[in-house]
Amino acid sequence: MTDEIDRLRREIAERESELADLRSQLAVAESERREADGDAQTAYRDWKWPLREDEYERYSRQMIVPNFGLQGQLRLREAKVLLVGAGGLGCPAAAYLAGAGVGVLGLVDGDAVEVSNLHRQVAHATSRVGMPKVESAITYLKELNPTITYRAHPTHLTPQNAASIISQYDLVLDCTDHPTSRYLISDACVLLRKPLVSASAFQASGQLLRLNHPVARGPCYRCVFPRPPPPESVVGCGEGGVVGPVVGAVGVLQALDAIKLITQGGLEEAAADAPQQQASMLIFSAMADTMFRTVRLRGRREDCFACSAREDALTLEQMQSSLDYVQFCGVAAPVRLLRPAERVPAAEYARIAADRAASPHLLIDVREKEHFGLSSIPGSVNVPISRFMRPRGAAAEDEDEAPPDWIPADLPHSAPIYVVCRVGNDSQVAAQKLKELGLDRNGERFVGDIDGGLRAWRNDVDPTLPFI
């Protein structure tokens, strides 16, 4: 039954894509026919206006806005814009750029649509789950505006392919969600002399900044963030969560800034004697009383590795051949703090938990309370990992010190303590911290974790457990 459902979903997605492509061809053919043959709405065979008749109808509401006008629309029609990422930011940004009439819209993304994407990635649909994101997004965009050109790049951006892809466009929007991508995209834009609109969103906040603008004069991402954040502080949407309208709002602002750049002639390089513009970053805090605020940024750094004039500055060849963005950002390897004997398989713990009377123990779930409230292993106690990290006055083995308040008073001194988290990383950190606090009683008590966390529990023990 599952295979049949998957087959039907794939077939529906393929048909939707084919239908969107046919509608796009029809719209173009109808436009060409009106131009070639003339119709009742066209008084003259030779059209004498700079836009097609259908373009006047489609874009009229924005062209009558002060300081936008026909010139702004013509600039949009000539612009080639690349979006790196077809997710929460990329979907709304792409929709508004396509709707505005950008001439060529390219999308880069190597991922496929997942069900968990759909609450915020509005260009995708349930019927297109499993489809490459760029194909799904273009299917949606063709329904919105079939008259512009779309280019699909169904791959992840890498140091090796970044130059060949980005060089085809006039403006780049960074819609990714990891520091490694942000540094790579910024470096490539500096080397290829492309302005960049960069944005990010997480939980209930986001930020937006314009980089390398004016071209070769504005700061790059390295100027603003010379050092990447500590790898342990980088938490994705899968772990930390995100509110759908937050990424929607930031993605729309990203598209708006791109449209502003294009229509106001911001893609051209500024003259050397043009006044320097003040760089700034827009901060969006959805749950705050003041939702928007602007932070002033310093300009281009004279010692910047990517965009300065120093002799050892970054080159395109160096970026493609020897620059390791993963190493630069210190992406953490899988956590390996516990010995194999201290890591209990999920199925083995299920046998232990089946008879708590014979095997009294404590199971601590170290996820945040929001995660714990959605699903948990029966009998577990929620103690977020942050509580373990608070300094204590003395070691727990001190007989005069009371045990932590989350340890049941009737738990035997030698009863094992098991720790569980989402996938088995934080649980190792927490178990190690419990030992440092002396709760293993110098080896008398077992302190370990469930190997693989709740993911393993769902896979090996209880497939009905919601895995968030």
In this predicted model, what pLDDT tens digit does every residue of 68-110 receive, in sequence order? 999 999 999 999 999 999 999 999 999 999 999 999 999 999 9
Instruction: Give the separation between CA 393 and CA 452, rounded to whole angstroms.
Output: 32
Per-residue confidence band for 237, with pLDDT thresholds at 50, 70 and 90: low
Q: What is the pLDDT of residues 374-420, one digit of tens each?
A: 999 999 999 998 887 765 543 444 444 566 778 888 888 889 999 99
* 421 noted as active-site residue: yes
Q: What percent of the chain has pLDDT over 70?
A: 87
- Closest CA relative to residue 378, chosen from 255, 254, 461: 461
Please indicate, yes or no, whether the overall pTM of this predicted structure exceeds 0.85.
no
Residues making up the binding site? 88, 109, 116-120, 133, 177-178, 220, 223, 304, 307
Query: Of these residues, 175, 189, 237, 329, which one is catalytic?
Result: 237
Question: Which of 213-227, 229-243, 452-466 bottoms out in mean pLDDT, i.e. has the lowest?
Answer: 229-243
Q: Who has greater pLDDT, 229 or 157?
A: 157
- Beta partners for 292? 284
How would residue 44 be classed by pLDDT, with cut points 50, 70 and 90? Answer: very low
Q: Is the pLDDT of residue 253 over 70?
A: yes
**Predicted confidence band of residue 8 (pLDDT cuts 50, 70, 90):** confident
The one catalytic residue among 91, 175, 189, 421: 421
Q: Are strands 205-211 and 280-285 parallel, antiparallel or unpaired?
A: antiparallel
Q: Which residue from 201, 147, 145 is spatially nearest to 177, judged by alpha carbons?
A: 201
Please state which of the ranges 259-263, 407-411, 462-466 shows the lowest mean pLDDT: 407-411
pLDDT digits (tens, 9 = 90+) for 325-384: 887 776 656 678 899 999 999 999 999 999 888 889 999 999 988 889 999 999 999 999
Both tokens of residue 88? 């929460």
Mean pLDDT of 229-249: 74
Q: At what angle do helices 90-100 and 133-144 cross, to 10 degrees?
A: 30
pLDDT at residue 178, as a whole number: 87
Q: What pLDDT does residue 294 have? A: 93
Residue range 238-263: average pLDDT?
90
Residue 131 has pLDDT above 90, yes or no: yes
Average pLDDT rounded to a whole number, residues 209-216: 90
Strands 196-202 and 171-174 turn out to be parallel
In this prediction, residues 221-237 reach a mean pLDDT of 75
pLDDT score for 383: 93
Each residue's pLDDT tens digit, 19-43:
877 877 777 677 666 655 555 444 4
Residue type, 428: Q
CA distance 441 to 393: 17
Q: Rounded distance, CA 387 to CA 382, Å?
A: 11
Mean pLDDT of 35-63: 75
Lowest-confidence range among 42-51, 93-102, 189-198, 286-295? 42-51
Going by the annotation, the residues of the binding site for ATP are 88, 109, 116-120, 133, 177-178
Query: Cβ atoms within 10 A of the Cβ of 332, count?
Result: 11
Q: How far apart are CA 171 and CA 182, in angstroms?
A: 15
Instruction: Give the mean model confidence (pLDDT) for residues 50-59.
Output: 91
Q: What is the pLDDT of residue 468?
A: 75
Q: pLDDT of 308-322, one tens digit each?
A: 888 888 999 999 988
What does the pLDDT read at residue 390? 63
DSSP 435: H
Question: Cis peptide before 214, with omega less than 30 degrees from 0?
Answer: yes
Residues in the chain: 468
- Domains of the chain listed by start with CATH number: 53-329 (3.40.50.720), 340-461 (3.40.250.10)
Has residue 175 got a pLDDT over 60? Answer: yes
Residues annotated in the binding site for Zn(2+), as ranges? 220, 223, 304, 307
As a whole number, the mean pLDDT across the chain is: 87
Largest interatomic CA distance in the chain = 98
